[in-house]
Structure 1
């Protein structure tokens, strides 16, 4: 009877006759809920560790990708500079060819003129020798 009065007041006795605010069923459900929450928190912590490791791995990979990207950009720029150097060198060689052709034409004309002069002088010497 005393138990009924306590139960109506919202107080209960457990197996060890300690006074409780919750009945046995609610208390066991609360304990079970507490255990489930602890297990859930453990799972969340494990998930957080896994997520952190993935983030760390992705950061490392992204840094490696960035390094490779910079290397490839550098290589591409180096190739472009080689191409520009080659074009400049070709242009210099073309100018040198034009210069050498012009010198060849000048020297050929000079040779022709000198050959003609030599032939004339040779004819003059031949005529001079024949006259004597």
Structure 2
């Protein structure tokens, strides 16, 4: 095994590594720091991108649900119209039946009135 060499740097500090290896180690430390900073920035960028994508996904999901709801309304519209048409047809039939009943009642009352007027006319002519 190689014995460590002890050296002094330019500032008078004791160094176990030789100056070339120490410089390489310092350079590697700086590069690692820069790489770590790049990774941190990348992680922040990814986190912000994920947040944006999650917001977009939520907005898309909201629009998708709205579209599904509208499609369901459109799909249900023909049936709703058929039911409404049937209800209105039934209402028209009821009104026609009521009108016919009222017309028959009117005709009957008109005949009764005519008969009563005729009787009154005969009674007044007989008295005179």
Q: Same fold (TM over 0.5)?
A: yes
Q: Which residue of 2 aligns with 1:67?
A: 51
Q: Which residue of 2 aligns with 1:50?
A: 34
Q: What is the TM-score with the length of structure 2 in the denominator?
A: 0.63
Q: What is the TM-score with the length of structure 1 in the denominator?
A: 0.61
* Deviation digits for residues 39-96 of structure 1 (CA, Å, limit 9, x no counterpart): 2332221111101110111112112212222222222112211222333345556544
* Deviation digits for residues 77-125 of structure 1 (CA, Å, limit 9, x no counterpart): 1221122233334555654443232211111121112212211221121
Q: Kindly report structure 1 stretches of 4+ aligned residues shifted beyond 3 Å.
A: 34-37, 86-98
The gaps in structure 2 that reach 5 residues or longer are 1-17, 117-128
Greater mean alpha carbon deviation, residues 89-98 or residues 56-65: 89-98
Q: Report the number of matched residues.
A: 99
The gaps in structure 1 that reach 5 residues or longer are 1-33
RMSD of the alignment, in Å? 2.3
Q: Which residue of 1 aligns with 2:9?
A: none
Work out which structure has the larger RCO, using CA pairs closer than 8 Å and 6 or more positions apart in sequence.
2
